[in-house]
Amino acid sequence: MKYSGIVEDCCCDYETVDSVNAEVLHPLLQEIVKTPFFRYFKAKLWCDCPFWTEDGMCLLRDCSVCDCPENEFPEPFKRPFHRDLPSDSLVCQNDKLQGSVDRTLDSRAFRGWIETDNPWTNDDETDNDEMTYVNLLLNPERYTGYTGLSARRIWDAVYSENCPKYSSQDICQEQRVLYKLISGLHSSISIHIAADYLLDKITNLWGQNMELMHDRVLKYPDRVQNLYFAFLFVLRAVTKAADYLEQAEYDTGNHEEDLRTESLMRQLLYNPKLQAACPLPFDEAKLWKGQSGQQLKQQIQKKFRNISALMDCVGCEKCRLWGKLQVLGLGTALKILFSVDGKNHQDQPLQLQRNEVIALVNLLNRLSESVKRTFNQESSGRRTSC
């Protein structure tokens, strides 16, 4: 199926998204997430599920996470955060294992890495003994064998209790946005599982499971559309926070790599092709209108916090890692677009934790890769049919 026209609820068309992603975004993001700053994520992986007793089991050793010993990541990441102003940033080598919203942000931008709450997520992600650093390159998002009741229960809880599928035109746009973000993320996760799948356990043969990718995502137009929506939503958050992200301290103690990271981020944030083709991927100013806008925002925040908390119920350690990272990335995008108004609240400038920025950029990369795989498969299918 060929997707054309404007992506629903967004400001860019499918053809432009595919073109800019292939030429600009995907190549840049692939480089950025490999840098020392963006390849390490801090997570609390050993938490009790707050909703039920979790007994999920994985079928493969690939389900386990290889975390980083403390002596392998750089000193800047070990410094304590400040409550209201600065702090700081890793090099881990392990053996590889399987109201009205204004569109601008405060120009004062980055003020140092801080310890600050995100109203959209459950984890505070602050420094404590329960957190561990993980090298994402050594723990890729892929098939783990995590299936069955435990896995289904997570997604059932996400959809049925927190963002039920909209079935009528009466539902407000804000509620539709939440559903489409989660559906788009779900599609992306399914694509990554199918793209790196254990095809033969005996020979340990890994590769693409195209039948699974088709059955879970590609044959459902709404799931593909929601993937594109989630991609543009997160892209808008990154471009809106451009001043902040440009000024951020990508400090890992490796001066040469840190300069390269800064350069790559500037190329991403101020790319002329992206600015010309899709200057406003998503228009957040349309939301939270009317007298009930603030109350509605609080309701949807609560729903998303519940989704965030559900990540502690994922029975597979590696799935939990990527679930936490990507939900935090979505929560950071929501925070940037809906919890900061640079023009009306000058006393509340954007403030992000280092971990939020790492999650946001890695999520954008995951979505970018899924969009590229989707486009490639759809293009291949059209050529085959001809």
Report pLDDT for 129: 64
- How far apart, in whole angstroms, are the C-alpha atoms of residue 193 and residue 136? 15
Q: Please name the residue ranges forming H helices in the chain.
A: 14-20, 26-32, 149-157, 173-195, 210-213, 221-240, 242-247, 255-269, 272-277, 293-310, 317-338, 354-385
The answer on whether 216 is annotated among ligand-binding residues is yes
Say what the pLDDT of residue 304 is.
93
pLDDT value at position 63? 62
In order along its 386 residues, the chain shows pLDDT tens digits of 788 999 998 999 999 999 999 999 999 999 999 999 999 898 888 777 878 775 555 544 556 666 666 665 656 766 655 444 333 333 333 333 332 223 334 444 565 677 777 888 986 555 566 778 888 998 999 998 887 787 888 999 999 877 777 655 556 788 889 999 999 999 999 999 999 999 998 999 999 999 999 999 999 999 999 999 999 999 999 999 999 999 999 998 889 999 999 999 999 999 999 999 999 999 998 888 776 778 888 888 999 999 999 998 888 888 999 999 999 999 999 999 987 543 444 346 788 999 999 999 999 999 999 999 999 988 776 544 43
Q: Which of the residues 12, 47, 316, 386 is marked catalytic?
A: 316
Ligand-binding site membership of 26 (annotated): no
* Residue 101 near residue 287 (C-beta atoms within 8 A): yes
Is 144 flagged in the annotation as binding?
A: yes
User: Which has the closest alpha carbon to 43: 328, 331, 306?
Assistant: 328
Nearest 10 degrees: Cα torsion 224, 230, 231, 234: 180
The 3-state DSSP class for residue 311 equals helix
**Which pLDDT score, from 0 to 100, does residue 219 have?**
95
Query: Is residue 319 flagged as an active site residue?
Result: yes
- pLDDT score, position 110: 61
Rounded-to-5 percentages of helix, strand, coil across the chain: 55, 5, 40
Kindly report the length of the chain.
386
User: Integer distance in angstroms from the first to the last C-alpha of the chain?
Assistant: 13
For the chain, the structural domain boundaries read 14-81+109-381
Q: Is 46 annotated as a binding residue?
A: no
Contact indicator for 318, 139 with CB cutoff of 8 Å: yes
**Could you identify the residue written with the tokens 């471009």?**
239
Alpha-carbon gap, residue 16 to 61, rounded angstroms:
40
**pLDDT score recorded for residue 297:** 86
pLDDT of residue 56: 52
Tokens of 157: 């809880």
Q: Which of 63, 163, 313, 319 is catalytic?
A: 319
137, burial (CB in 10 Å: exposed 0-12, middle 13-18, buried 19+): middle
Location of structure tokens 């280092």: 354
Is 155 marked as binding a ligand? yes
Distance from the Cα of residue 360 to its chain's centroid: 5
Beta partners for residue 334, in sequence order: none
pLDDT score, position 126: 56
Whether the CB-CB separation of 106 and 346 falls below 8 Å is answered with yes
Determine whether the annotation assigns residue 142 to a binding site: yes
Q: Which residues contact 160 (CB under 8 A, 6 or more apart)?
A: none
